[in-house]
């Protein structure tokens, strides 16, 4: 079959050089390109997750199904009861899981005049902006399974999973009957930690949306003391929350690119269950003679004196949603809720007047 924009001959018997024709046997299993430091600094996933080797094809990872265990030798504690007795035999078993990478890419064009004059250094910042775009693309993929340019769902990632796919949810309500005075936030975070602990997993870090940072700073106990005390450094990308590291990034709520995001403000979990890796290097290509197609429009760069910068990377990830808990803001009140509230208030008022 012919693949996208493949020139003839393009049949299975004779075709152009495309990775899509290759069997996984031809693809390296442990190729790992270097990360661009700028992309790494901007990415929440790269700060929290665990980096692993990823190939261009399918990456297969062994998973322990049965752990070896030890037992007592003999029938008691004395030498006579221990010496010469048969040692117990244990066993082990493995399963496996697999995932495949996706390619992230973007093209930006400028006029040749813009490139040469570089007004206010704007053209010089484009490479940094593109590197940051890769970081945001990685984050939105791993946290929400979406793409920043359109906000749409990523395709073919059923095996990869994403953090927001967790079924463990805690509502960040302003009131909690268990906490009659002060902020209930500490109790809510502990409730979420317990959900992860019940899976026999180790909560080891938080991912927090910067939008929620003022709430953390303002949270008080009944005596008016800060729940999460200590000097507050608003410039820091990392702090601590209940003794665990907390990293801040917009990918938590998903408000990245054109995606509107959701009501999530904090993720907690076992981040060793968030694996990511790169099959090649984050790289930029420059062209002044190619053509760029967007929809039905094709533009010749050479004929129109334009310069195109392309950034791309092939990366993969694997997330176990069971290892995470999602802390969400309450759903906004609907008109029906307001009407019910008004009716209830009126009813109470009538009962009070009658009394």
- Averaged pLDDT, 211-215: 90
Tell me the per-residue pLDDT of 292-345, one tens digit each, with 9 for 90 and over.
998 899 999 999 989 999 999 999 999 999 999 999 999 887 655 556 555 544
H helices of 9-58, in order, are 37-42, 44-48
Position 205 in a domain:
no
In sequence order, what are the residues at sequence separation of 6 or more whose Cβ sits closer than 8 angstroms to the Cβ of residue 164? 143, 144, 145, 254, 262, 264, 267, 326
Position 312 in a domain:
yes
Rounded CA-CA distance 84/347 in Å is 83
Tell me the per-residue pLDDT of 10-24, one tens digit each, with 9 for 90 and over.
677 766 555 565 554
Position 38 in a domain:
yes
Owning domain of residue 150: 28-60+96-171+250-324
Neighbours of 319 (CB within 10 A): 28
Q: How many domains does the chain have?
A: 1
Higher pLDDT, 231 or 308: 308
Residue 147's nearest CA partner among 332, 315, 355 is 315
Position 89 in a domain:
no
Q: How far apart are the first and last CA of the chain?
A: 82
Position 109 in a domain:
yes
Q: Please count the residues of the chain.
A: 355
Tell me the per-residue pLDDT of 133-170, one tens digit each, with 9 for 90 and over.
999 999 999 999 999 999 999 999 999 999 999 999 99
Higher pLDDT, 56 or 11: 56
Residue 251: the pLDDT is: 95
Rounded CA-CA distance 40/124 in Å is 20
Position 336 in a domain:
no
Element (H, E) at 277: strand 274-278
What global pTM score does this model have? 0.78
The whole-chain average pLDDT of the chain stands at: 83
Q: What is the CB-side half-sphere exposure of residue 183 using CA atoms within 13 A?
A: 17
- Residue 220 carries which DSSP code? B
Residue 332: the pLDDT is: 84
* CATH number of domain containing 137: 3.30.2400
Rounded CA-CA distance 319/251 in Å is 15
Residue 170: the pLDDT is: 97
- For the cut 80, the answer to whether the pLDDT of residue 182 exceeds it is no
CA dihedral 229, 230, 231, 236 (to 10 degrees): -80
Phi first, then psi, for residue 266 (nearest 5°) are -145, 140
- For the cut 70, the answer to whether the pLDDT of residue 71 exceeds it is yes
Position 35 in a domain:
yes
Neighbours of 164 (CB within 10 A): 21
Assign 201 a pLDDT band (cuts: 50, 70, 90): very high
Position 56 in a domain:
yes
């Amino acid at each position: 079959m012919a693949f996208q924009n493949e020139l003839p001959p393009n049949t299975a018997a004779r075709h152009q050089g495309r990775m899509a024709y290759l069997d996984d046997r031809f693809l390296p299993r442990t190729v790992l390109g270097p990360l661009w430091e700028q992309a790494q600094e901007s990415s929440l996933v790269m700060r929290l997750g665990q980096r692993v080797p990823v190939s261009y094809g399918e990456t297969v990872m062994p998973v322990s199904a049965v752990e070896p265990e030890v037992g007592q030798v003999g029938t008691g504690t004395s030498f006579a009861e221990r010496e010469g007795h048969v040692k117990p035999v244990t066993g082990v078993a493995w399963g496996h899981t697999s995932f495949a990478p996706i390619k992230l890419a973007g093209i930006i064009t400028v006029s040749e005049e813009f490139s040469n004059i570089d007004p206010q250094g704007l053209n010089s910042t484009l490479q940094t902006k593109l590197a940051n775009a890769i970081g945001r693309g990685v984050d939105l993929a791993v946290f929400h399974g979406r793409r920043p340019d359109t906000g749409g769902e990523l395709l073919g990632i059923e095996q990869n999973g994403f953090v927001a796919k967790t079924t463990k949810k805690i509502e960040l309500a302003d009131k909690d009957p268990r906490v009659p005075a002060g902020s209930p936030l500490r109790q809510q975070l502990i409730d979420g930690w317990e959900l992860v602990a019940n899976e026999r997993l180790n909560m080891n870090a938080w991912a927090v949306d910067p939008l929620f940072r003022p709430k953390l700073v303002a949270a008080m106990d009944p005596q008016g003391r800060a729940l999460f005390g200590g000097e507050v450094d608003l410039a820091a990308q990392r702090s601590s929350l209940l003794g665990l590291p907390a990293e801040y990034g917009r990918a938590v709520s998903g408000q990245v690119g054109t995606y509107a995001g959701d009501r999530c403000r904090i993720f907690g979990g076992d981040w060793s269950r968030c694996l990511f890796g790169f099959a090649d290097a984050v790289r930029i290509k420059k062209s002044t003679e190619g053509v760029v197609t967007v929809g039905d429009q094709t533009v010749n760069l050479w004929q129109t004196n334009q310069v195109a910068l392309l950034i791309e990377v092939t990366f993969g990830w694997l997330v176990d949603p069971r290892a995470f808990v999602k802390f969400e803001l309450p759903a906004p009140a609907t008109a029906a809720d307001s009407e019910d509230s008004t009716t209830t208030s009126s009813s109470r008022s009538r009962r009070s007047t009658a009394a």
